[in-house]
Structure 1
Amino acid sequence: MKPRLDFSALSPDTMKAMLALEHQARNSGLEQSLIELVKIRASQINGCAYCLHMHTRDARAHGETEERIYLLDAWRESPLYTDRERAALAWTESLTLIARTRAPDEDYALLAAHFTPDEQAKLTLLIVTINGWNRFAVGFRAVHPAGSDRAAA
């Protein structure tokens, strides 16, 4: 795959705005493990290899287990995730797929049961931010750094 555009170099003001969102989301006070799970799950849904590469590495660096990373796509069928994580993952899926889901009341009720209103806003900003990054990376065909010099045989 060949990148279409180096958006970070060619539009520094845009990157400054995205980095401000990222800073706010990263420093929201939500658990680091939860932040990485949300970023990975949204990136799985959006098919963003660049972000999956980055956030699976970040999750491991913060102590996330391989098993939980591998099973994240099937979180509903695994007992490895807490009720709070399940609420966040359901909300992540609802908002990432909002054209299809319309953020159903059931997902919001689950969210409200495990997150304060302030945390709900912070989690939603996190989801908005990773979906934005996914759209930049997928849209402009950003190539993740590991193995980018080698094509599959």
Structure 2
Amino acid sequence: MTARLDYFRIAPDMLKPMLALEAVVRGDGLEHELVELVKLRASQINGCAYCLHMHSRDARAGGMDQTRLDLLPAWRESSLYSPRERAALAWTESLTLLAQTGAPDEDYAGIAEHFDEAERVQLSLLICAINAWNRLGVGFRSEHPQ
């Protein structure tokens, strides 16, 4: 794979709002492991190698067990994820695959059970942000470090 262009170098001012959103969604409210699981799951679905590399490294640096990372694609069949994480992962898949899912009521009910209203907004913005980063990474063929 060959990178198409370095969007950070070419348009740093255009990325400032994305970076500001990233700072907000990483702020207080959501646990670090939950944030990384959401980012990894969306990046798996979208096939963004750059983001998978970055967020798996960040998750391990934050102390996440490698087995939880390995089993993430099969989170529905694993007991390693809490009910709160499971609700977040279902919502992640719903919003990432929006054209296919239509964000079903059952997935929203799952996050409503485990997240307060502000956390639901924060989680949804987190999912929106990682999907935007994935689209930039895949679209411009961003290369992960070797």
- Class of the TM-score when normalised by the shorter of the 2 chains: over 0.9
2:81 matches 1:81: yes
- TM-score, normalising length: structure 2: 0.98
Deviations 1:75-120 (A, max 9, x none): 0000000000000000000000001100000100111000001100
Deviations 1:43-91 (A, max 9, x none): 0000000000000000000110110000000000000000000000000
- TM-score, normalising length: structure 1: 0.94
Deviation at 1:42, TM superposition (A): 0.3
Structure 1 counterpart of 2:137: 137
Residue correspondences, number = 146
SS in structure 1 at match of 2:109? helix
- Stretches (4+) displaced over 3 A: none
Alpha-carbon contact 1:28-1:122 (below 8 Å) kept = no
Tell which structure's C-alpha radius of gyration is larger. 1
2:29 matches 1:29: yes
* C-alpha distance in 1 between matches for 2:14 and 2:31: 27
Structure 1 counterpart of 2:64: 64
* C-alpha distance in 1 between matches for 2:43 and 2:33: 15
Query: What fraction of aligned residue pairs are identical, expressed as a percent?
Result: 64
RMSD: 0.6
Q: Which runs of 5+ in 2 are unaligned?
A: none
* C-alpha distance in 2 between matches for 1:99 and 1:28: 30
- Residues 1-153 of structure 1 correspond to what in structure 2 (within 5 A)? 1-146=1-146
